[in-house]
Structure 1
């Protein structure tokens, strides 16, 4: 059972060279992803003079995030596994595929990467607002909470099916694009309601830089629950107990 394989790890792991390299890769990948994703939204606002969000803007956001995540996962895959998302890391942890110590390193790197990306965007755009995620009119926190759970479940389930499952075979070669596609599709589905974060780091950076924390807990609780459920379900039902661990998440 996955729970029996959950590992805390050793404190020394936090200073090991491979773990630090993996954390650096997560920092860079998350920076790349957030800079392009959040930057696309800022560019849209500039082009429309902060006009109302339109269907074209939603499509642009979905495409930008899908492309950026495809690249971010690809460049980090051989070093850290290309998580680029605390919810993915949490899903890997509850499935027994990464230790708690390494997972915490990843979380720190991902959150820092997002904050640095948003600071760079603010500076590079002459101080334009890096908008935090927020709920649309008529959407309450529980609506958004369920949306984030379902969307992140789909994302982490895709990660498991295409990147973690040892039976993935040649499917592993398209894992980054499949992961990018599900994020883009989920933005088209949920973006008009709560911004479709699916990623606590993506929400954290803009919240810190703009210092806006309204309903911020939704963008942590929903993705972590959705990601954790996906990790447990895929590991328990579809991966047998003797599968080999991924080299990038040894513990």
Structure 2
């Protein structure tokens, strides 16, 4: 009896109710398919991409330098392939910076974003661990750990990571924009090209992370965390900036713009006042989402009653 009373009191607390609402979408089979998809995609992406950084000629008298074109193409084509394979399952983020961009533009809830980032980081550790296990010790080198070039400052490295991730996330939003009618070709290939371009430019500067999980995986396996914060702060800031500029400045959604106009109205004195109305609230995940409801089994006991769906990117 006391447990029931305690449970009612817990549910009656507004703070606890908001927490439960935030996490309501995670108790579904569809959501855990998406999270596991992010994990598996990160495993494959990190394993294949980091493998291109291994220099098998390191034991020779004059080993050739790292092939930047090979590495850039491998990263770009790997991410393009993973987005094509897992885009309809999880949105194909495979990158905490992309997930952060989806959260700030309200295409993904914060609770789901946390699980995505955890899955991406665990997948990156697994992929780097597999590569470490199958690669001979004498050719492993740094296992693709991203390092800041000693010739540039940490501030410059931060800017480089910010700009190349900006380019990537802006490409994602532009090529996956449901409002556009002029799009043709493969969005996943365009995203892969964006990754390859970032690597061709930034490998000599910072190793071209563009992805905090990609840097975290090999750093965790080799326990090398020198200037590691650069590879979290730079990409996340770049991703958020790109998403905000695209979504709210360059290509705002007409429906969102209409709702935002309703939020502010002038009073009799000519000053703006905030209108307190539930109708003007923009709910998370309400913009440009894939309607997956038709694809879910009608008798699926795990289906969300609210019909909430995941991000389309």
TM surpasses 0.5 = yes
Q: Tell me, in whole angstroms, the C-alpha distance in 2 between the residues paired with 1:57 and 1:74.
A: 26
Structure 1 runs (4+) greater than 3 angstroms displaced: 48-54
Task: Report the count of equivalent residues.
Answer: 241
More helix by share: 1
Q: Deviations over 1:211-244 (max 9, x none)?
A: 0000000000000000001111111020314274
Taking the aligned partners of 1:222 and 1:210, their CA distance within structure 2 comes to 22
Aligned to 2:44: 32
Return the match for 1:219 from 228, 231, 242.
231
Q: Structure 2 unaligned segments of length 5 or more: list them.
A: 1-17, 257-286, 291-308
Partners of 1:85 and 1:52 in 2: CA distance: 33
Unaligned runs of 5+ in 1: 1-6
1:93 is aligned to: 103
Aligned match for 1:245, one of 280, 288, 291 = 288
TM-score scaled by length of structure 1: 0.89
- Residue 196 of structure 2: aligned partner: 184
| 1:79 aligned residue (67, 78, 89) | 89
CA distance in 2, matches of 1:158, 1:232: 13
- The normalised TM-score by structure 2 is 0.72
Corresponding residue number in structure 2 for 1:112: 122
- What is the CA-CA distance between 1:136 and the residue it aligns to? 1.5
Q: Structure 1 residue 14 and structure 2 residue 46: aligned?
A: no
Is structure 2 residue 245 aligned with structure 1 residue 233? yes
| Aligned alpha-carbon RMSD (Å) | 2.2
Structure 2 residue 214 is the aligned partner of structure 1 residue 171: no
2:59 & 2:105 partners in 1: Cα distance? 45
Q: Are the equivalent residues in 1 in contact too, given 2:57–2:63 (CA < 8 A)?
A: no
Larger radius of gyration: 2
Separation in 2 of the partners of 1:73 and 1:86?
A: 14
